[in-house]
A and B are shown apart, each in its own frame.
Chain A
Amino acid sequence: MANYESRNFSGIAEETNYRKSRYGMVIDVDRCTGCGACVVACAVENNVAPAPPAATDRTGITPIRVYKVDNGLPFPDIRSVFFPITCQQCEHHTPCVSVCPQNAVALDESTGIVGQIPVRCLGCRYCIVACPYHARYFNWWDPTWPAGMEKTLNPDVSPRMRGVVEKCNFCFHRLQAARSKAAIEGKKDIDPADYVPACVAACPTQAMTFGDLLDENSGISRLAKNANSFRLLENLGTEPKIYYRSDQEWVKRLAENDLTEKEKPNG
């Protein structure tokens, strides 16, 4: 007890909290070759276990998943793009956060990242139902690796147990690492170069741009304002922080999700 009261904070950090930031992504679908590097990089970085033989494309775990989308026209007028879909980090009454019965998911005030806490999750899957982007995944199986492969697990991320929901959190552990690095150098603000999610770092064509949307002179805040940038299901009003950009008109039309449209795109 005694020592508790006598805690002294002679820290170099005069302000106890980190500068407010809003991390987001701009994905240029015109540059996505669908190579799958982001998917693998993510799975490796976040200790996603290989899908068991019984898994389907609807029971596997892909915090980032690439959809092939076309303009719905017949051959040879068909045109298609790849859409990497990850958690869209909704800013405004975040669907998954509001429904979770036991606060297993929360929007981090200082970074705007929606963080899922598997150990708090009871696996009711209400959040999966609530998410319009299908960016949340349930661990239908115990995570199992072929013999010896568990040696390759990333110590910065804890493997999820069976029966809980998980999702992309912009590789938050990389932000943590960047903060520790800054702390050692006596700095509070991280070097933006130190914090890039695995998928973004892995994209060979640099189709993904990551950064702080609040930072006026960051590349992303400029890209996000670009006329060719849009967000999926924008008019649901959940203010997602992942932007997509394309020069193709039919792709841009995906922003206005009118399902009755004659050219219904296909996933």
Chain B
Amino acid sequence: MADHGKVMFFLGAAVILAFGWVVFPYVIYKPVNQPIQFSHFTHTSDNVGLKCENCHTFDKDGRFDGIPKIEKCRSCHLKPLGISGDEEKLERNYINPGLEIPWVIYSKQPQNVFFSHATHVKLAGIDCQTCHFGQAYTRSLRPAYFSRISGYSIDIFGKDLLDFPSTPSSGMRMADCSSCHHRQGVKESCIDCHK
């Protein structure tokens, strides 16, 4: 009788554990596909040989422009340069009508976060790849994952569900920023990164 109860007890535990560790991570994130497939690799590899700063530019007042506007694409893609379907899509849907591409940004920080690319890239001379690891050589764009509750991108948050203990560089969380700051001996205060 009693062990029958025990069985039930552990059954319940097992079921919930399985759900929590296996199913839950998939339930909580919502995948969002990119409007068109873009290959960083094609643009950065030797035959085109673009550098990051060729497209991801700065204003003279130090603002980072982020993902380039369609103008930038047009400047090269006025007429097809390749044969990929996505390039054709680019021409048809965006360049010709002159619409902006509704990119989904993987590393989209929430509104309350301030980050200056200028100080990190120009002043500290940090290589883009240091934080956007491997981005420059991706051949296609995987879907972005956003939390269904908070709307945070998984690339910010880190993939591990419990961000404790915080493992650096698994994402772009506060912990990741500050652990690097500490390593570099950067004195930081809350308002340095929160607006």
A and B, direct touch (CB closer than 8 Å): yes
Contact A11-B190, Cβ < 8 Å, known A179-B116, A180-B119, A184-B61? no
Contacts of A95 on B, CB cut-off 8 Å? Answer: none
B62–A181 CB distance below 8 A: yes
- Within the complex, which residue of A108, A117, A158, A183 is in contact with B116, where a contact is CB–CB below 8 Å? A183
- Within the complex, which residue of A17, A109, A159 is in contact with B185, where a contact is CB–CB below 8 Å? A17
Chain A interface (Cβ < 8 Å from any Cβ of B)? 1, 3-4, 7-13, 16-17, 103-110, 113, 115-120, 156-159, 169, 172-173, 176-177, 179-184, 186, 188
A9–B126 CB distance below 8 A: yes
A184–B187 CB distance below 8 A: no
By secondary structure, the B interface counts as: loop
Separation in Å of the A197 CB from the closest CB of chain B? 14
Separation in Å of the B79 CB from the closest CB of chain A? 34
Q: Is B2 an interface residue (CB 8 A)?
A: no
A117–B194 CB distance below 8 A: yes
Q: How far, in angstroms, from A184 to B187 measured CA to CA in the complex?
A: 21
- Within the complex, which residue of B123, B185, B194, B195 is in contact with A11, where a contact is CB–CB below 8 Å? B123
* CB under 8 Å from chain A, chain B span 92-132: 111-112, 114, 116, 118-119, 122-127, 129-130
B190–A9 CB distance below 8 A: no
Look across to chain A and name the residue whose beta carbon is closest to the beta carbon of B180: A7
- Within the complex, which residue of A8, A17, A180, A184 is in contact with B186, where a contact is CB–CB below 8 Å? A17
Most chain A Cβ neighbours within 10 Å, of B122, B191, B195: B191
0/1 string, B135-179, CB within 8 A of A gives 1: 000000000000000000000000000000000110000000000
Contact A109-B187, Cβ < 8 Å, known A3-B133, A184-B58? yes
By secondary structure, the A interface counts as: loop
Contacts of B71 on A, CB cut-off 8 Å? Answer: none
B123–A176 CB distance below 8 A: no
Contacts of A188 on B, CB cut-off 8 Å? Answer: 123
Chain B interface (Cβ < 8 Å from any Cβ of A)? 58-63, 111-112, 114, 116, 118-119, 122-127, 129-130, 133-134, 168-169, 180, 184-187, 189-192, 194-195
Q: How far, in angstroms, from A10 to B130 measured CA to CA in the complex?
A: 12
- Within the complex, which residue of A108, A181, A184 is in contact with B189, where a contact is CB–CB below 8 Å? A108
Separation in Å of the B166 CB from the closest CB of chain A? 13
Separation in Å of the A161 CB from the closest CB of chain B? 9
B125–A11 CB distance below 8 A: yes
B118–A180 CB distance below 8 A: yes
B127–A8 CB distance below 8 A: yes
Q: How far, in angstroms, from A45 to B89 measured CA to CA in the complex?
A: 41
Contacts of B186 on A, CB cut-off 8 Å? Answer: 16-17
- Within the complex, which residue of A10, A109, A183 is in contact with B118, where a contact is CB–CB below 8 Å? A183
A182–B189 CB distance below 8 A: no
A180–B194 CB distance below 8 A: no
A11–B187 CB distance below 8 A: no
- What are 22 A-B contacts with C-beta separation under 8 Å? A3-B169, A4-B168, A7-B130, A8-B127, A9-B126, A11-B126, A13-B124, A17-B186, A105-B190, A107-B189, A115-B189, A116-B191, A157-B195, A169-B191, A173-B114, A179-B119, A180-B61, A180-B62, A180-B116, A181-B61, A183-B122, A183-B123
Closest 7 CB pairs of A and B: A115-B191, A180-B62, A11-B125, A4-B169, A108-B189, A180-B118, A11-B124
Separation in Å of the A47 CB from the closest CB of chain B? 10
Q: How far, in angstroms, from A107 to B190 measured CA to CA in the complex?
A: 9
Contacts of B187 on A, CB cut-off 8 Å? Answer: 17, 109-110
B122–A186 CB distance below 8 A: yes
Contacts of A107 on B, CB cut-off 8 Å? Answer: 189
